[in-house]
């Protein structure tokens, strides 16, 4: 059997989407479909069936995937052992899962670093979903995920803390009621823009609940990064990690305030699964992320 057909099968299984598989394989979608049909004919099984999100594996595909994946990984490991990873010349693509904090704080510095040190490397960014990230890392959909994993149990995943973070609050500099300091009464009275809890930012409302308090949320969005114009054109308050707050302070007309109640700090970590293939490249990428975050 043609090894390229097995690789097509593995990537479709991991991405659960024909077009996403084509992107990762750097093939056209018709080429992926053609190769999949060749494998279907050889195995006399459809292997994947359409669902509302893409495709789902058949029972035979679920049986074959572990063996196929392990076999290809062993082949790739053997090949990798004869080659050295050189970031200066490598054309590898890294798939990086980032929280909104990472998007705001890490991406600009990462791209600046790669432009000088690894000019041919490509990075694909995926939004973190805390309930899916472990599976994505194990299946190879992500190489590394950087986020606050305090509330995400991932027993099969390796993790290294990058830095400790705390929450602060920002408001427009011309806010009519908040200028020099932010009291608890003001914090509870004003309206807030916040981030969906599925992103992992749940500490603030959990802490307020412990205190028997509740803030007035007017706007809920999936990313901190979309709030810059909202803050500078409204009276809404935004509570966000301090590094993101500093970015807003540099780029927007906002003031930063300490929170008028105690909230515990949290750790942002790099998380990955110990795949055997391409270990040297992945280790370099993780070390690069740690180096960049430590300089922020």
Report angle CA 176, 203, 152 to the nearest 5 degrees: 145
| pLDDT band per the 50, 70, 90 thresholds, residue 1 | low
* 55 burial type by CB count under 10 A (0-12 exposed, 13-18 middle, 19+ buried): buried
98 forms beta bridges with 127, 146
Does the structural domain 167-264 have CATH classification 3.40.50.970? no
The residues, any chain, with a CB within 8 Å of residue 249's CB and separated by 6 or more, are: 170, 255, 256
pLDDT over threshold 90, residue 111: yes
What would the pLDDT profile of 145-162 be if each residue is shown by its tens digit? 998 877 778 888 888 888
Q: What's the chain's length in residues?
A: 296
- Dist. CA 165–CA 253, nearest whole Å: 23
- What's the confidence (pLDDT) of residue 77? 67
Contact 159, 261 (CB under 8 A): no
Tokens describing residue 10:
């593995």
Max Cα–Cα distance, the chain, nearest Å: 72
* 241 burial type by CB count under 10 A (0-12 exposed, 13-18 middle, 19+ buried): buried
- Dist. CA 227–CA 225, nearest whole Å: 6
First-residue to last-residue Cα distance in the chain: 50
The residues, any chain, with a CB within 8 Å of residue 288's CB and separated by 6 or more, are: 110, 113, 117
The domains of the chain are located at 3-81, 93-164+267-294, 167-264
HSE-CB at 289 with a 13 A cutoff on CA atoms is 29
3-81 and 93-164+267-294 in the same fold: no
- Dist. CA 5–CA 40, nearest whole Å: 10
- Dist. CA 181–CA 173, nearest whole Å: 12
pLDDT over threshold 80, residue 285: yes
Kindly report the average pLDDT of the chain as a whole number.
87
Radius of gyration over every alpha carbon of the chain, rounded to an integer in angstroms: 23
Report angle CA 92, 137, 202 to the nearest 5 degrees: 120
Q: Cβ atoms within 10 A of the Cβ of 180, count? A: 6
- What's the confidence (pLDDT) of residue 267? 84
The CATH label, of 3.30.70.1020, 3.30.200.190, 1.10.10.10, 3.40.190.10, for the domain at 93-164+267-294 is 3.40.190.10
What would the pLDDT profile of 159-210 be if each residue is shown by its tens digit? 888 888 899 999 999 999 998 899 999 999 999 999 876 566 788 999 999 9
Backbone φ and ψ of 163, nearest 5°: -165, 165
pLDDT over threshold 80, residue 89: yes
Tokens describing residue 205:
């409302």
Give me the numbers of helices (H) and strands (E) for the chain, helices first please: 12, 12
Q: Which residue has the tokens 């309206």?
A: 191
Reference 121, options 236, 277, 289, 274; nearest CA is 289
The CATH label, of 3.30.9.10, 1.10.10.10, 3.40.50.300, 3.40.605.10, for the domain at 3-81 is 1.10.10.10
DSSP class of 123: E
Read off the pTM: 0.66
What would the pLDDT profile of 208-225 be if each residue is shown by its tens digit? 999 999 999 999 987 777
| pLDDT band per the 50, 70, 90 thresholds, residue 113 | very high
């Amino acid at each position: 059997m043609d090894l390229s057909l097995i690789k097509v099968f593995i990537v479709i299984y991991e991405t659960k989407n024909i077009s996403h598989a084509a992107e990762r394989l750097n093939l056209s979608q018709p080429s992926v479909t053609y190769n999949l049909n060749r494998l279907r004919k050889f195995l006399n099984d459809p292997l994947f069936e359409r669902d509302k999100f893409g495709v789902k594996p058949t029972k035979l595909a679920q049986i074959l995937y572990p063996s196929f994946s392990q076999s290809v990984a062993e082949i790739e490991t053997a090949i990798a052992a004869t080659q050295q990873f050189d970031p200066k010349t490598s054309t590898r693509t890294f798939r990086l899962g980032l929280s909104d904090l990472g998007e705001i704080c890490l991406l600009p510095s990462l791209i600046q670093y790669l432009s000088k040190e690894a000019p041919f490397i490509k990075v694909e960014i995926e939004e973190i979903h805390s309930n899916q990230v472990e599976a994505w890392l194990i299946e190879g959909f992500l190489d590394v995920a950087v986020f606050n994993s305090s509330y995400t149990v991932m027993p099969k995943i390796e993790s290294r803390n990058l830095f400790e973070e705390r929450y602060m609050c920002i408001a427009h500099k011309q806010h009519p009621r908040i200028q020099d300091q932010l009291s608890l009464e003001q914090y509870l009275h004003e309206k807030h823009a916040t981030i969906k809890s599925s992103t992992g930012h749940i500490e603030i409302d959990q802490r307020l609940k412990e205190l028997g308090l509740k803030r007035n949320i007017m706007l809920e969005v999936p990313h901190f990064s979309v709030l810059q114009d909202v803050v500078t054109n409204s009276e809404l308050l935004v509570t966000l990690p301090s590094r993101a707050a500093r970015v807003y302070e540099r780029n927007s007309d906002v003031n930063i305030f300490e929170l008028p109640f105690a909230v515990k700090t949290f750790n942002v970590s790099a998380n990955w699964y110990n795949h055997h293939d391409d270990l040297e490249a992945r280790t370099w990428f993780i070390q690069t992320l740690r180096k960049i975050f430590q300089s922020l």
